[in-house]
Amino acid sequence: MEIYNLPEKPKALIFDIDATLYTCPEYAHEQIDAQVRHYAALNGMTADEARKKVADFRRKWAAEHGGLKISLGNLLTSFGIPIETSIEWRKTLFNPADYLKRDEKLIAAIRKLKEKFALVCVTNNPVEPARRTLEVIGIADLIPRIAGLDTCMESKPSRKLLETAMGWASEDIGEEVRPRDCISVGDRFDIDLKLPIELGMGGILVGGAEDVQKLPDILA
């Protein structure tokens, strides 16, 4: 876990979902690879050819952007796959219930955090599969607000998604929530934390649910 610029009096926590609110490398990988395999099938390629094309693009993009990483949604747009198509793929190509299960320790931690903070999820999955993930791990009722790929038709990092999350947090607590009132929590610095920190938010880089379970004590 790494912590960046925590606000003195935070009001809202903005959570990534995948590989943040659960720990399952197999499912995190499958969400990416299922889309790559589907792209391969649609374009007459082998899965390995498509994986190489994606890996080559990631390396080239990182070299041209100071080592930063690119989300798969944004990468696919460079391959001619619009966000609308990515949304439909993500709704059908994988199922969280095949990999994940209810997490009682996480539920207890999120319940404690909800007593002090507005909680919102921001994800590069569409809202529907993201909600299924929260349902499987047991926290859908604790974090009902999800800004997804189909909310603003943008993939993270996205200022629009963060502004949407802050707007919902403001509604939840009945007062304005600004960047300096927020902490972004995620497993990828470039995708989940870099832009929020630049906007003035705090950031917590986690390695999965086990780190999230520690947040009530860290933010006490």
Look at residues 62, 96, 130 and tell me which one is the last residue of a structural domain: 96
pLDDT of 98: 96
Answer yes or no: do 45 and 8 share one domain.
no
CATH number reported for the structural domain that contains residue 113 in this entry: 3.40.50.1000
Closest CA to 195 of 150, 151, 165, 153: 165
pLDDT at res. 124 = 95
* Residue carrying structure tokens 């994800």: 123
Q: Are residues 9 and 107 in the same domain?
A: yes
∠ CA 3-8-10, nearest 5°, is 80
Per residue in 85-127, pLDDT tens? 999 999 999 999 999 999 999 999 999 999 999 999 999 999 9
Residues 76 and 63 in one domain: yes
- Whether 184 and 145 share a structural domain: yes
111 and 168 together in one domain: yes
Which residue in 129, 105, 141, 147 sits closest to 21, CA to CA? Answer: 105
What type of residue sits at position 141? D
Residues spanned by the domain of 38? 26-96
- Based on the structure, what is the number of domains in the chain? 2
Burial class of residue 15, CB neighbours in 10 A (0-12, 13-18, 19+): buried
Contact 16, 185 (CB under 8 A): yes
| 131 contacts: CB under 8 Å, gap ≥ 6 | 140, 146
Residue partners of 66: CB distance under 8 A and separation at least 6: none
Q: Are residues 107 and 14 in the same domain?
A: yes
User: Model's pTM, two decimal places?
Assistant: 0.92
φ/ψ (deg, to 5) at 182: -115, 155
pLDDT tens digits along 205-216: 999 999 999 999
Rounded distance between C-alpha atoms, residue 215 and residue 80, angstroms: 40
Residues 89 and 193 in one domain: no
Of 77, 96, 115, the residue that ends a domain is: 96
Share of the chain above pLDDT 90, in %: 100
Whether residues 82 and 167 fall in one domain: no
Question: Does one domain contain both 201 and 114?
Answer: yes
75, 96, 117: which is the final residue of a domain? 96
- Assigned token pair, 127: 């809202």
Q: What is the pLDDT of residues 51-67, one digit of tens each?
A: 999 999 999 999 999 99
pLDDT, tens only, 65-74 = 999 999 999 9
Asked if 104 and 51 sit in the same domain, the reply is no
Across all residues in the chain, what is the average pLDDT? 97
Q: Do 53 and 142 reside in the same domain of the chain?
A: no
Residue 159: band (very low, low, confident or very high) from pLDDT cuts 50, 70, 90: very high
Co-location of 65 and 113 in the same domain: no
Whole-number pLDDT of residue 162: 98
Q: Which residues pair with 148 in a beta bridge?
A: none
